[in-house]
Chains A and B, each alone.
Chain A
Amino acid sequence: MSATVLATGNLSIGYAPRRGPRRVIAADLNLALHAGEVVCLLGPNGVGKSTLLRTLVGMQPPLAGRVFLDGVDLATLSAREVARRLSVVLTERIEVGQLTAYALVALGRHPHTDWTGRLTPRDEEVVRWALEAVDAVNLASRPVHELSDGERQRVMVARALAQEPLVMILDEPTAFLDLPRRVEMMRLLRRLARETNRALLLSTHDLDLALRSADAIWLMAPGGVMHTGAPEDLVLGGAFETAFAGEGITFDRHQGQFHIHPPARHRVALVGDGLVGAWTSRALERAGCLVVSSDEPASLRVVVDGDTRHPCWEVHIDGATPQRVGSLREVAMLVQQSQVHR
């Protein structure tokens, strides 16, 4: 396994207010981050992901235990020494007028320049390399406030890269982006981790994307329980069900995704298969039904008819005359109406 660049030893995170008891969010964390890998930090809101990240970057002191950056205790390093090994991309939207993307990325050279902040040719080389690495060369002379969210986020990643760190920690780097931009950002981060042999830790709410692209997942469950491992290990071990256990959301281990519908209120027998059958099943689940196979007894019965191009459905409610409809929207409405009548 490649070199460990960030590790924690029996780390406890939380808050120690001057008055009142200290609040431990998670205790005895032994985590490790290796060069060249992307780790996603997942967990429900309010579980303490931000506190962990803040402790790992040194913005908040640990309650107990230590954080090791490149083998050295974080607490013994000066801010500048930390900045040369670790850089961050934060969630907060930066607002700077009259700053070009190039000048913004150049700010990342801060821990490497002398007291005047003058950029040496080597510094400028690194800035250009960073912009090239995130495919933002064409953005170099654009003012930052004119960039789109996706472009701006790429430039912020370039800034973090220009710091030439061993570890980059990104707090929800995909938060403001649409789906194609999120996929693009994850792909970019994976490529950066591989090509530049840096360790990337990012928190995200994008479970699907994290499961597909992370090398490892740190899953924080309520109560400060931390599950770590490859995404598939965590799925097989059932960690996701427990971490996100709650109303209206279930984790489907077979499909590797969450189902967000409310608990099923009654059973529907579905007759039909193939593409139309699968999407009919989805529509019925969304309408609040538990779909069972056609040979089981159920008061509701939906029969798929017609071919894939021109499907139609027959809805049987409590043995009444079947109603024939031409769209799943109508099927869903009929099913929901039948529930209201009860």
Chain B
Amino acid sequence: MAETTQPIVESTAAVSPWPRLGLRPLALVVMFGVVAGAFLLSLSFGSVRIPLEQVLTILLGGEAERATWRTIIVDFRLPKALTATLAGAALGVSGLQMQTLFRNPLADPFVLGVSSGASLGVALVVLSVGAANNTLLAVAGLLGNLSLVVAASLGAGAVLILVLTLARRVQSSVTLLILGLMIGYLTSAVVSLLLYFSIAERIHAYVAWSFGSFGGVTWTQMRVLAPTILAGLLLALVLTKALNALLLGEAYARSMGLDIRRARVGIVASGAVLAGAVTAFCGPIAFLGIAIPHLCRALLRSADHRVLIPACALVGAAAALLADLAAQAPGTNVVLPLNAITALIGAPTVVWIILRRGVGRGTFGV
């Protein structure tokens, strides 16, 4: 049998010298599998270990061995895992969009200053609300509550509108990149000033927010977070063709019939909404946005956005779930800062993969 099949395989390979475009179904299935696995693991692990079959029973609506397990899963771990999934996908995709739009491998979802805007909103609430003594208590009580989310959303939204207005006016995306960076510097400067004149307790509250966490999102907030991110992802999917045209730079994209300004506004809107929503609800989660696109390019050996957009969403979701799992430090009661974990584990992994596959070269000239 082996003798007869071998030549057939060879001849089909010889007949078609053309590479296949598009995402291979196998890769898609594997990525879905990893996300599902990470999702189940993150439901199972935590300060209380819940067996996987019990997790499945609860998810399918059955009765758990212990009633508290059901509460833990449904009220705490499920919204957290969903948040991690959505946030990871959002950061991965918006990172990819920014890297392509600015043709810069160092771009991430926060180049537009959106996260700085959110930070400013939070800093204003936490650090400077009133001078009265009782507000300190109020602020402490509000932590993780809706007012921070509102403040961060307002900050991110204000910067988003500013950047969109600029995106419609400026000629080149590089100008936009510089403007975004300057907005970032400005807002960080204001935050520094606020920190400087603030008292220790409030600074602590701000710093705690800036560590990032998927845990603060309630089911009520999920009703805002999930549709926002899904809408951003949908917009990103619609813009896939435009992103592909932009691979060769704006001059070529225009020569192929792309309306650059409209595409840019769409990409900036989608990227900023994704990054802004995540920052508002989870804090400024660094690293995933810059790393996931590189990881996907290396793993799938492709620059085609019809491959990379779904891949970044899935790999981003899996990475966020696994990072959150690691931050729980399973078996202990300690919860580590999420931002530290993403970079501590993620950075060496990405470096290893990129060096091993030898793909650092050639991505936008780097």
Contacts and interface: CB of A to CB of B under 8 A. Distances in A.
Nearest to A119: B21
B168 interface: no
B362 A145 contact: yes
A65 to B, nearest CB: 22
A83 B248 CA distance: 15
28 contacts: A59-B251, A79-B257, A84-B257, A87-B255, A88-B255, A90-B251, A92-B251, A94-B249, A94-B252, A95-B103, A95-B363, A96-B247, A97-B303, A97-B359, A97-B362, A98-B363, A99-B247, A99-B302, A99-B304, A103-B304, A107-B247, A124-B18, A137-B17, A141-B17, A141-B18, A143-B362, A145-B362, A163-B256
Interface in B252-285: 252, 254-259
Interface of A: 57, 59, 78-84, 86-88, 90, 92, 94-100, 102-104, 106-108, 110-111, 113, 115-119, 124, 128, 137-138, 140-141, 143-146, 163
Given A96-B364, A143-B362, A80 B257 contact: yes
Contacts of B218: none
Q: Which of A78, A97, A144, A145 has the most CB of B within 10 A?
A: A97
A97 B18 contact: no
A73 B116 CA distance: 47
A277 B17 CA distance: 55
Contacts of B61: none
Interface of B: 17-19, 21, 103, 238, 240-241, 244-245, 247-249, 251-252, 254-259, 297, 301-304, 306, 359, 361-365
A102 B304 CA distance: 11
A13 B302 CA distance: 41
Given A97-B359, A102-B18, A107 B244 contact: yes
A94 B241 contact: no
B312 to A, nearest CB: 13
A97 B238 contact: no
Given A96-B248, A96-B362, A163-B256, A106 B21 contact: yes
A46 to B, nearest CB: 20
Contact of B249 (A83, A92, A163): A92
Contacts of A143: 362
Contacts of B259: 79
Nearest to B247: A96
B19 A100 contact: yes
Contacts of A104: 248
Nearest to A78: B257
Nearest to B301: A98
B21 A59 contact: no
Nearest to A102: B19
Contacts of B19: 100, 102-103, 140-141
B17 A83 contact: no
Majority SS at the chain B contact face: loop
Contacts of A119: 21
Given A97-B297, A145-B362, A57 B255 contact: yes
Given A96-B248, A96-B303, A138 B17 contact: yes
Contacts, number: 112
Contacts of B238: 115
B258 A79 contact: yes
Given A79-B254, A87-B255, A110 B364 contact: no
Contacts of B248: 94, 96, 104, 107
Given A79-B259, A83-B257, A98-B363, A110 B241 contact: yes
Contact of A145 (B21, B244, B257, B361): B361
A90 B256 contact: no
Contacts of B245: 107, 110
Contacts of A141: 17-19
A86 B89 CA distance: 38
Q: Which of B252, B306, B361 has the most CB of A within 10 A?
A: B252
A116 B303 contact: no
A274 to B, nearest CB: 53
A190 to B, nearest CB: 23
A117 B255 contact: no
Contacts of A116: 240-241, 306
Contacts of A100: 19
7 smallest beta-carbon distances between A and B, as pairs: A83-B257, A97-B362, A145-B362, A97-B363, A117-B241, A95-B365, A80-B257
Contacts of B302: 98-99, 103
A110 B18 contact: no
B303 A110 contact: no
A95 to B, nearest CB: 3
A332 B306 CA distance: 64
A90 B18 CA distance: 26
Contacts of A146: 362
Contacts of B365: 95
B362 A98 contact: yes
A173 to B, nearest CB: 14
Contacts of B103: 95
A130 B249 CA distance: 21
Nearest to B260: A79
Contacts of A87: 255-256
Contacts of B362: 95-98, 143-146
B21 A103 contact: yes
B246 to A, nearest CB: 10
B13 to A, nearest CB: 11
Interface centre among B302, B361, B362, by most chain A C-beta atoms within 10 angstroms, is: B362
A111 B257 contact: yes
| Of A94, A115, A119, most B-chain CB atoms within 10 Å | A94
A111 B21 contact: no
A119 to B, nearest CB: 7
Contacts of A102: 18-19, 21
Given A98-B359, A110-B244, A110-B245, A83 B364 contact: no
Contacts of A106: 21
A203 to B, nearest CB: 15
A78 B258 CA distance: 10
Contact of A97 (B21, B255, B257, B364): B364
Nearest to A54: B251
Nearest to A90: B251
Nearest to A169: B255
Nearest to A91: B251
A113 B303 CA distance: 18
